[in-house]
A and B are shown apart, each in its own frame.
Chain A
Amino acid sequence: MANEVVLLDFWPSMFGMRVRIALAEKGIKYEYKEEDLKNKSPLLLEMNPINKKIPVLIHNGKPVCESLIIVQYIDEVWNDKSPLLPSEPYQRAQARFWADFVDKKVYGASRKVWSTTGEEEEAGKKEFFEILKTLEVELGDKPYFGGETFGYVDLSFITFYSWFHAYEVLGNINIEAECPKIIAWAKRCLQKESVAKTLPDQKKVYEFVAQMRKRFVSE
């Protein structure tokens, strides 16, 4: 059977980017379909009726939803090259733990940085830096979260880097000053073709986020 792979996505989504990087790492050819989230396609609603969210990977007509579940699926199906998760169970559990940490913590805190003001924003910034510093400790002196090579945790977090410029301008923060190791790690990741070709231009993301901010904050 021909391997038909379709990705329903939205260009600034850090969750969708994770899937794009995984597909690039594995060298998988796929059809990219851009969704208008204000006007979701019948295909998206059919393929993800529960959450109605992107990204959705459609493999030979069958949908897989939730970015980290999709990445694990890709790693398991296309298991002949570029493993994303470690092979040893304890290291796999650690990788899953930290990707889960990124999921549970980074988005929520970062959202407060760009979509709120005043005390709520200040609290959000504090939380955001605490989370990044926890990740810095976990990274330690390793080149990647995965150790010597780019892996699952790197993939799950690097996509947020495309939003850093937006956080900095809208939140009036300096991420490199607070967390230099994270920025050094991000630049290292960007040397990988799969990452460099996937992450959108930071200024383009900033314009998008600035527009979104208007819905939450009147300035």
Chain B
Amino acid sequence: MAKNDVKVLGAWPSPYVMRPRIALNIKSVNYEFLEETFGSKSELLLQSNLVHKKIPVLIHGDKPICESMIIVEYIDEVWTSGPSILPSDPYDRAIQRFWAAYVDEKWFAAMKGLRSAQGEERKAFLDQVIEGLALLEEAFGKCSKGKAFFGRDRIGLLDIAFGSFLAWLKVTEKVNGVKLLDEAKTPGLVKWAERFCADAAVKSVMPETEKLLEFSKFLAAKMKGAPPPKN
């Protein structure tokens, strides 16, 4: 398939953008990555995602598909010759989808809260994040059944959904001076995170922690209204 038949509109720091890229890598699909400029939205983005005007957008031929997890399921359904991203059993699929939704709606919401909160509020968000990780550790045990990933032998839907947040998790650990993934409390997740980040489908799209940390400082300064630090 021609490379420019598949395009991903996105930006390198976004965990949501990582998701379709990992999925396409798993399927060995060549694609063109169109990087959006921070602070402005291209015409192509605005036309492809009229409703939300957000990245990522997958453009397959001339058809846009929006919302990261919907894109991942689409990729799994279209490119069937590659390894499966969702399990075949309907109950297992429901469990993977449930936890992916939990990560997006509950856990990452607490992570975002932690990044911007002060004082007492910060402690409350930190507790929520750590509580969430304990739940995910338990879920990992149940889903992996002793294997490497939530998807068992291979990276699956939930690995992609949760793993895409690992770079931001590492940045949050540095900025807050806390350990979120802990060998003592979440040993399963610690090892899983190493395996996930080292996987061939993930390595090329996972931002380096230092680079993301710099970007995070840039973002924080921008939000406060101060001029961004010089690179």
Q: Which of A69, A73, A134 contacts B51 (CB 8 A)?
A: A134
Q: Mark A44-79, 1 if CB is under 8 A from B, else 0.
A: 000000110000000100101110011011001100
Q: Is the CB of A73 within 8 A of B90?
A: yes
Q: Which of B67, B78, B93, B102 contacts A89 (CB 8 A)?
A: B78
Interface size of A by Cβ–Cβ distance < 8 Å? 22
Q: Is the CB of A76 within 8 A of B90?
A: yes
Bound Cα distance from A100 to B63, whole angstroms: 19
User: Size range of the interface on B?
Assistant: 20 to 34
Q: Does A92 contact B (CB under 8 A)?
A: yes
Q: Does B66 contact A (CB under 8 A)?
A: yes
Q: Is the CB of A100 within 8 A of B67?
A: yes
Q: Is the CB of B66 within 8 A of A97?
A: yes
Distance to closest chain B CB from A107 (angstroms): 13
CB within 8 Å for A72 and B70 given contacts A64-B91, A92-B77: no
- Complex interface: chain B residues within 8 A of A97 (CB): 65-67, 70
Q: Does A185 contact B (CB under 8 A)?
A: no
- Complex interface: chain B residues within 8 A of A64 (CB): 91, 94, 98
Q: Does B101 contact A (CB under 8 A)?
A: yes
CB within 8 Å for A50 and B135 given contacts A72-B97, A73-B94, A96-B70: yes
- Complex interface: chain B residues within 8 A of A89 (CB): 74, 77-78
A selection of 16 A-B contacts at a CB cut-off of 8 Å is A51-B102, A62-B91, A64-B91, A69-B97, A73-B91, A73-B93, A89-B78, A90-B63, A90-B74, A92-B74, A96-B73, A97-B66, A97-B67, A100-B67, A100-B70, A134-B51
A interface residue numbers (CB < 8 A to B): 50-51, 59, 62, 64-66, 69-70, 72-73, 76-77, 89-90, 92-93, 96-97, 100-101, 134
B interface residue numbers (CB < 8 A to A): 51, 60, 63, 65-67, 70-71, 73-74, 77-78, 90-91, 93-94, 97-98, 101-102, 135
